[in-house]
Structure 1
Amino acid sequence: MDGKKEYFNVQELKSGMIITRDVLKNGALLIKEGTVVNDEIITRLKKAYFLEKIEVKVSQAVIAQSTKEAEMQRVEETFKEISDGLKDLYEKFGRVKENKVSELRLFAEKILKELNSIEIVISTVAFKGSGNDPLYRHGVNVAVLSGLLGKWVGLEQSKVNLLIYSALLHDFGITKLEKKFHTKQDILIQDRYKEVCQHAKIAYKYVDSIDYLDKAVSYGVLMHHEREDGSGYPLGITGEKIHSFAKIIAIADELDVMNSDPNYIDKRGPFEILEIIKEKSLNKLDFEYSKIFLEHITNYFMGEDVLLNTGEKAKILQININEIAKPLLLKDGEFLDLSKHKDVYIKELVLQ
């Protein structure tokens, strides 16, 4: 079998490693040679307080998985760093006269560099949400997703840069409202809705005043809550009157908000959220952009493991874009077509 032998502490063991020498404690056999490490084996060794290093064979698959985990952690740290920088930039807006474009450019360069590893970025952002940071990390997530969609719809590089600027700044106006509005995404705030609606105009005023910044950036900020049927704000405009940057940011914004709100995730699961994006593309979100977004993002989840609401694990084999929440799965060596099992749904992705 391919792989190399190494020695690991119990805490360092990974599922898929193969134990190559009997594990003994006080002369008693704990784990037999040839056993494949899994969560149960690791738990058993921890309960036995086994402290010596264990000889295992590490397959290429395990090495690849460990590499992916390390890369995901690195990307997560990069996005956290940008979130902190974005907070600092927001705080300086309007009171410090300096070249803010240079800071935006630096953030965009870091994001664009990470977009070269699309699978890692999607695993890190697409269904993770912005957690307890509905303003700064949310801004970074929306910028990442907007950048991806901008590339997928064929925007030239210079426009993708500007789109990321706009996405990073799209919720700046929230910081100029009462602090109680800083703790929840603007889409979800029902109390004092009219006041919250002003944040797009407030942000537009600040962003539009930045010297040498393309007007497309401020238009994206102003219009990111406009909707195709005219039901959005602050202008209530429709269709072609909405700037393309705003159309893209709207899709990214909706996705991250739903993935950050436990009420959506607990009740619907990640693929039901993609279904909502598809439904909204019929009259709220741009249809073509939404279609491109959904087609691309679902491709990256082929072969991924998922946890069902039944508590069972399965693997995604095929996703029908017309029924995203009900893909074809492989469970215990057999096909499971969720379109034929209305009470079974994907609770979460098992992204390692």
Structure 2
Amino acid sequence: MFFVYKILIINILYYWHNDCFTCIGNINLYHMRTIKLLFTTLTLAVLATACYTEVIIEDEYIDEPVLNVHALLKSHELWYVDINATSGNREVPFLQRAFTVSFVGETVFANNNIVGIGKTGNGFGLDVGYFNTANGRLQINHDVDGYWSLEVFMVDNNTIELYDSNSRTSYYLEGYQRNNFDYDMVFYDNIEYLLQEYDVWEKVTTSKEGLLNDFDSENYLQFYIEGNRSMFNSSVDPSGMHLDDVLWDYSGEYSVFGVYNDETLKTLTLDYDFMGNDYFELYVINDSTIELYHSSSGTVYKFKGKGFISYLKSGISQLDKKRTKTEYGTMKVVRKRKI
């Protein structure tokens, strides 16, 4: 391209020279400098055009490490399902029931009951299915709920998210080892489920201390869910009855509250239909024994659970029992029982 421009310039100067031949001798130094400047400018313009170079700057590629799902799931022995952190409008049934899940070998274990947690299956709970981590996903073949494919995300060193894309629901699981898992925390954070895991609670002792009151005659309690209501039944039948023979004399709604500045104390209020209510301090002795302290009379009642309901092992109950988001209200009361 430069050569073409050069030929063009020479032709222009040639014709200009022929037309002005008679005057060429009179061209002074000023005219020669003007011609030289014109030629130099045209040359630089051609060079600037001909020397164009395309420069491509590529974005820097960062090779992020691939999450090892299999190793992540096995990094903790127990994964506690924080049901209150769940997001989404639907559910993954076996996660909705479980307090903890574990991944041992190729087997999925779950603690679906508060009763026996820490003891059943050496702390892992019941065998509920099988899993694999092909293609970086958690794929579970559950004994009751069938096949599920879940995405796994690491939230932090002790927390993972299990996401079901079909229901657009996320579950958040907190990792523990069996020797550092806070079983007391699980009991008190889920105490309402403990009350519901027995068909009946039978009164076994009444303290000698305390004033006479109507609750002295009530020997059986039953706790259950009806819709979104927490319900109870009460009976004055004598102790020692067969569970199927117990007749319920009273019923109503019950509520459980936490206590301000006292994480280990819960309160229980029985709101009887047409009969007012009874207020108790609720103490968990073990996973089959509770004590109710009747603060207005100063009487302590001990109840033992009868007819344990093992979820996943007892027919229709395995489908009925689901955990729900629960935020216990807090009462600003002072512990009245002297221990």
Output the TM-score relative to the length of structure 2: 0.25
User: Which of these two proteins has the greater Rg computed from alpha carbons?
Assistant: 2
Comparing both structures, which one devotes a greater share of its residues to strand? 2
Which of the pair has the greater relative contact order for Cα pairs under 8 Å at 6+ separation? Answer: 2
